[in-house]
């Protein structure tokens, strides 16, 4: 019999130093909700990790300092990989950066794959303004 995993907050990051703000926002949500914290990074498959290895190491240390695990995955389908991982870790909330303007961008596609998941987007500004999509939000549906 499979035990139900503790509900969690999933933070999706890219290989950029400033994604630490996303991990910190995820930590705050996880602590407030008494949930586990997971950090997920997905990149296009590559044989050369040197372009972002320092950034990933920094984000890994940040995640560990805040009690989270960090998983790095390589896929040509980033939203699909993130949605699969969200199911695997029993994520109830997802935190990411503010999406770009492409119609098939990461957050838009993820919202379609996980329509009942609340997705919180954290801006790059110092005030850490938050935007959320939940199951009732049709702006991205």
Backbone dihedral region for residue 4 (phi beyond 0: left; psi -120 to 50: alpha; all else: beta): beta
- What does the domain layout of the chain look like in residue ranges? 14-133
Q: What is the pLDDT of residues 57-90, one digit of tens each?
A: 999 999 999 999 999 999 999 999 999 999 999 9
Q: Which CATH class is domain 14-133?
A: alpha beta
- Tell me what pLDDT residue 1 has: 41
- Tell me what pLDDT residue 123 has: 85
Percentage of residues in the chain with pLDDT exceeding 90?
59
pTM of the model: 0.87
Separation in Å, CA 49 to CA 75, 126, 135: 14, 29, 36
The whole-angstrom separation of Cα 100 and Cα 121 is 11
């Amino acid at each position: 019999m499979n035990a139900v995993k503790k509900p969690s907050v999933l933070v999706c990051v890219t290989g950029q130093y400033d994604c630490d703000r996303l991990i910190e926002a995820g930590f705050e949500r996880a602590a407030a909700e008494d949930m586990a914290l997971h950090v997920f990074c997905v990149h296009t498959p590559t044989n050369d990790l040197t372009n972002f290895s320092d950034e990933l190491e920094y984000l890994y240390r940040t995640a560990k300092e805040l009690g989270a695990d960090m998983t790095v995955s390589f896929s040509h389908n980033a939203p699909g990989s993130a949605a699969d991982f969200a199911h695997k870790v029993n994520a109830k909330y997802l935190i990411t950066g503010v999406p770009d303007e492409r119609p098939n961008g990461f957050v838009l596609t993820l919202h379609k794959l996980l329509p009942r998941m609340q997705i919180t987007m954290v801006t790059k500004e110092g005030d850490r303004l938050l935007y959320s999509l939940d199951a009732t939000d049709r702006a991205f549906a």
